Amino acid sequence: MFNGIAASKGVAIGKAYILDSSKFCVVKHQLEPGKVDAEVRRLRDAIEQSKAQMQEIKKRASKVADKYAVILDTYTLLLEDEILVSDTIDRIRKDGINAEWALTQTLEKFGKLFSNINDEYLKGKKDDLDLVVQGILRNLIGHNQESLSEIEEPVVVVAHSLSASDTLMMPKSFVLGLATEVGGKTSHLGIFASALGIPAVVGVKGITEEANTGDLVVIDGIDGQILVNPSEKLLVQYKKKQDNYRRYEIKLLQDIHEPAETKDGTKIKILANIESAHEIKSLRKFGAEGVGLYRTEFLYMGSVTLPSEQELYENFKKVAQGSAPHPAIIRTLDIGMDKNPHFLNREDENNPALGLRGIRLSLAYPKLFISQLKAILRASLYGNLKILYPMISCVEEIRQANEFLQLAKNQLQEEEIPSHHEIEVGAMIETPAAAICIERILQEVDFVSIGTNDLIQYILAVDRINENVAHLYQPFHPAVLKTLKSIFNVAETAGKTVSICGELGGDPLATMLLLGLGKIDELSMEPHAIPKVKKILRKITLNEARKVADHALTLNSPEEVNRFIVAEMKSRFPADFNQNLDFEENSKSTAKTI
Ligand code: PEP
Ligand code: MG
């Protein structure tokens, strides 16, 4: 049994197809005198070829999933990266060596820099860089990639790594499952596989050495495991797990359009988090009642230049129309920290999570901010749009942001551009300062949305993307629960809408606890998470949830809360929190009384 990271849910069983993605051999040779300029041109041509290939791949990718196409933009940006190119050209000129060798040396240099950094996000960037360089090398050498398009029967693809073009070449109907040695939770492969419903496990060290083409392989994308040539007994068990998981998924989607209402009549609105306008299509499929968080930064991240007001307007118009009659909450730009578009050309910060990010950056770049606000006001003619300010830490920031909003309205009026000016404004509660001063914040806004991803990071002083402290990132920490309870209580007294749009809101394990902590109006989450959360809400009463939350609040450590919640949810919902092989609905609840 091999352990990896579950990247796309489900179980796949089939014959292995090992992709020999071993890197081709690059040799060093000295250039003949006078051939340096030609060699530099050869490198530039190969990069241009890679860019054209990437454009082609992107066109196909957006048909698979828009989020996937956005990821490919990072590859394009790497191809545009002058540091990579100029470093390689310098080597060609200085050492008089061939482009292939110079490029490999550059990759090695950057690889060393990356390997000294313990950050999952940056490690992912190293994989991206590797894939991009392999593509350029292939063009320089004229080496064609082993093609997955030749697969002619259903297989489980096992590879060291899969590039974006590898995945797009695959005949999807023949790919039962995917396993790779590299990759983390946020790798492009997981997003690709989830969009297509193909089970996948990534980060499985040594799997290409242990498995051979033709071996029988089980990919367990639920628990992140891989079996090679399993015993008959295990195979029967995994076939059952596969069947049960399929049935479980179908059942979850059956009553997806029913409202999320507890047995005793408490209604919670369930909305979707989206990162691109195209995802609006998935709202109906997963029964979302609008968009609770549109992360607009991906519009900027994927672009080499600043998107124009007109481009933003057209994008927001799609979102407004697509979610109507339900609302769509557009979060203004939340760049900074791990997301920095190239065109801003910003200096590195020592503590980017505490730096110029979110609303701070928008207030520092008024033109950028106003153009986004104008686009939202124009698009709100086509639906019910609301504005959400990220990373608020004091009322003054909201006031300043609202001044810019007024300026945007005035400009639109002067320009005689049709727009809708009655728009609700909300603040994200994701800093301890905002949580502590919630009463004041609520006086300035129509609603608040709790960004638990950041709120947890800042309350616990634990970097959300640093794997060295990942074990300390504990959403069930008593400090987090107490903070949430206090926000809910104050918002209820103020009569203002409160929602959660961080990952915790879409974690079914937390659903009962959150409901019991106080009055929540809305939960916004990844569309895929909606069915399970809705199911849980429909099976509980507010009173039961309150008891669970009250008990959790008496516990002293995150571990105690975690143990209690896991045991409680497993016993109430055995089918949904099952770590063993059956996934069968158990009609008898074995819920404990607290
Ligand atoms: C959050 O911080 O919880 C949130 C929703 O914002 P993001 O994950 O985009 O920082
Ligand atoms: Mg955040």
**pLDDT tier at 276 (50, 70, 90 boundaries)?**
confident
Interacting residues of 320 by C-beta distance below 8 A, sequence separation 6+: 328, 379, 380, 381, 382, 383, 384, 385
DSSP-derived letter for residue 503 is G
Question: So what's the pLDDT on residue 266?
Answer: 97
* Token pair in block for residue 468: 């060295």
Residue 222 resides in a domain: no
E strands, 451-579, in order: 497-500, 522-525
Contact 452 CB / ligand 1 (< 6 Å): yes
- pLDDT score, position 586: 39
DSSP state of 360: H
Q: How does residue 423 score in pLDDT terms, banded at 50, 70 and 90?
A: very high
Q: How much is the pLDDT for 480?
A: 98
Task: Indicate the top mutation candidate among 450, 453, 480, 498 to test ligand 1's pocket, ranked by most ligand atoms within 8 A of CB.
Answer: 453
Q: What percent of the chain has pLDDT over 70?
A: 84
> Which 3 state secondary structure label does DSSP give 40?
helix
Mean pLDDT of 312-332: 97
Q: Among residues 85, 116, 141, which one ends one of the domains?
A: 141
The residue contributing the CA closest to ligand 1 atom 1 is 451
Strands (E), 131-259: 155-159, 175-180, 200-202, 216-220, 225-228
Q: Residue 428 belongs to a domain with what CATH number?
A: 3.20.20.60
Q: What pLDDT does 340 receive?
A: 65
At residue 59, the pLDDT reads 67
Region of 242 on the Ramachandran plot (φ > 0 left; ψ -120 to 50 alpha; else beta): alpha
Decide: 334 in ligand 1 pocket, CB within 6 A: yes
Of 108-117, 288-297, 512-521, least confident by mean pLDDT is: 108-117
Q: Of residues 308 and 348, which shows the higher confidence score?
A: 308
Residue 578 covered by a domain: no
Q: Which amino acid is at 573?
A: F
Instruction: Find the mean pLDDT for residues 419-423.
Output: 96
Mean of the pLDDT values across residues 311-321? 97
Mean pLDDT of 332-342: 75
Q: Is 155 helix (H, G, I), strand (E, B) or coil?
A: strand
Instruction: Indicate if the pLDDT at residue 50 is higher than 80.
Output: yes
Domain closes at, from 114, 141, 168: 141
Q: Is the CB of 454 under 6 A from ligand 1?
A: yes
Residue 315 lies in a domain: yes
Q: Which of 594, 431, 428, 438 lies closest to 512, judged by CA? A: 594
Q: Which of 205 and 218 is assigned the larger pLDDT?
A: 218
Residue 569 pLDDT greater than 90, yes or no: yes
Answer yes or no: are the C-beta atoms of 256 and 530 closer than 8 Å. Answer: yes
- Out of 86, 118, 141, pick the residue that ends a domain: 141
- Atom 6 in ligand 1: residue holding the nearest Cα: 451
Amino acid at 558: P
**Among the listed residues 331, 327, 333, the one whose alpha carbon sits nearest the alpha carbon of residue 362:** 333
Number of domains in the chain: 2
pLDDT above 90 for 350 = no
Q: Are 266 and 520 in contact (CB under 8 A)?
A: no
Q: Decide: 8 and 198 in contact? Cβ < 8 Å.
A: yes
Q: What is the pLDDT of residue 546?
A: 98
The mean pLDDT value for 94-103 works out to 92
How many beta carbons lie within 10 A of that of residue 152, not counting itself? 8
Does 332 contact ligand 1 (Cβ within 6 A)? no
Has residue 588 got a pLDDT over 60?
Answer: no
Q: Which two tokens stand for residue 69?
A: 């196409």
282-286, 320-324, 408-412: least confident range: 282-286
Residue 141 scores a pLDDT above 90: no
pLDDT of residue 40: 93
Average pLDDT over residues 259-269: 95
In the prediction, which pLDDT does 117 show? 56
Q: 477 an active-site residue?
A: no
Q: 101 is written with which tokens? A: 């060798």
Q: Which of 20-34, 539-553, 573-587 has the lowest mean pLDDT?
A: 573-587
Pairing of strands 175-180, 269-274: unpaired
The CA 66 to ligand 1 mean position distance, Å, reads: 20
Residue 369, domain member (yes or no): yes
Residue among 18, 21, 9 nearest 219 (CA): 9
Q: What is the pLDDT of residue 593?
A: 40
Q: Whose CA is nearest to atom 4 of ligand 1?
A: 451
Q: Is the pLDDT of residue 578 over 70?
A: no
- Distance between CA atoms of residues 60 and 580, nearest Å: 38
Please answer whether residues 373 and 332 qualify as being in contact, where contact means their C-beta atoms are separated by less than 8 angstroms: yes
Q: Is it the case that residue 79 has pLDDT exceeding 90?
A: no
**By three-state DSSP, how is residue 512 classified?**
helix
Residues 267 and 130 in one domain: no
Of the candidates 573, 523, 580, 521, the one whose C-alpha atom is nearest the C-alpha of residue 544 is: 573
Of all atoms in ligand 1, which is nearest to the CA of residue 430?
2
Ligand nearest to C-alpha 391: 2
CATH of the domain at 109: 1.10.274.10
Q: How does the average pLDDT of the chain come out, rounded?
A: 86
Q: Which pLDDT band holds residue 301 (cuts at 50, 70, 90)?
A: low
pLDDT at 76 over 80: no
What is the average pLDDT across 63-88?
Answer: 69
Task: Assign 300 a pLDDT band (cuts: 50, 70, 90).
Answer: confident
What pLDDT, on a 0 to 100 scale, did the predictor assign at position 585?
42
504 CA: nearest ligand 1 atom: 3
Contact 475, 452 (CB under 8 A): yes
Phi (first) and psi of residue 217, to 5 degrees: -125, 140
- pLDDT on residue 452: 95
Task: Confirm whether 220 is domain-assigned.
Answer: no
pLDDT at residue 584 is higher than 60: no
Structure letter (DSSP) for residue 203: -
Percent of the chain with pLDDT strictly greater than 90: 55
Between strands 11-19 and 155-159, the pairing is parallel
Helix, strand or coil, per DSSP, at residue 540: coil
Minimum mean pLDDT among 31-35, 65-69, 73-77, 474-478: which range? Answer: 65-69
Which of 25, 326, 501, 551 does the annotation list as catalytic?
501
CB 496 within 8 A of CB 445: yes
Sign of the torsion angle spanned by Cα atoms 295, 296, 299, 305: negative
Q: Can you give the pLDDT at residue 448?
A: 98
State the pLDDT at residue 353.
Answer: 87
More confidently predicted of 352 and 128? 352
In total, the chain counts a number of residues equal to 594
Pocket test for ligand 1, best of 454, 464, 473, 483 (most atoms within 8 A of CB): 454
Range of the domain at 34: 22-141
Tell me which DSSP letter residue 216 carries: E
Residue 564 lies in a domain: no
21 has pLDDT over 60: no
Domain assignment present for 186: no
CA neighbor of 184 nearest in space, from 64, 19, 4, 11 = 4
CA dihedral 2, 6, 7, 13 (to 10 degrees): 60
Predicted confidence (pLDDT) at residue 348 exceeds the cutoff of 80: no
Judgement on whether residues 454 and 317 belong to the same structural domain of the protein:
yes
For the stretch 125-131, contacts whose Cβ atoms lie closer than 8 Å and that sit 24 or more positions apart, written own/partner, are: 125/74, 127/161, 127/182, 127/183, 127/187, 128/74, 128/75, 128/78, 129/78, 129/84, 130/161, 131/75, 131/161, 131/163, 131/164
Per-residue pLDDT at 131 exceeds 80: no
Higher pLDDT, 345 or 443: 443
Whether 416 shows a pLDDT value over 50: the answer reads yes
Measured in Å, residue 295 CA sits from the centre of ligand 2 at 10
Mean pLDDT in residue range 68-72: 62
232-238 average pLDDT score: 95
In a domain, 146, yes or no: no
Catalytic: 188? yes
User: How does 114-148 read in b/e, with b if 16+ C-beta sit within 10 Å?
Assistant: beeeeebbebbbbbbbbbbbbbbbbbbeeeeeeeb
- Tell whether ligand 1 has an atom less than 6 A from the beta carbon of residue 295: yes
Residue 441: which pLDDT band, with cuts at 50, 70 and 90? very high
Ligand 2 mean position, distance from CA 362 (Å): 15
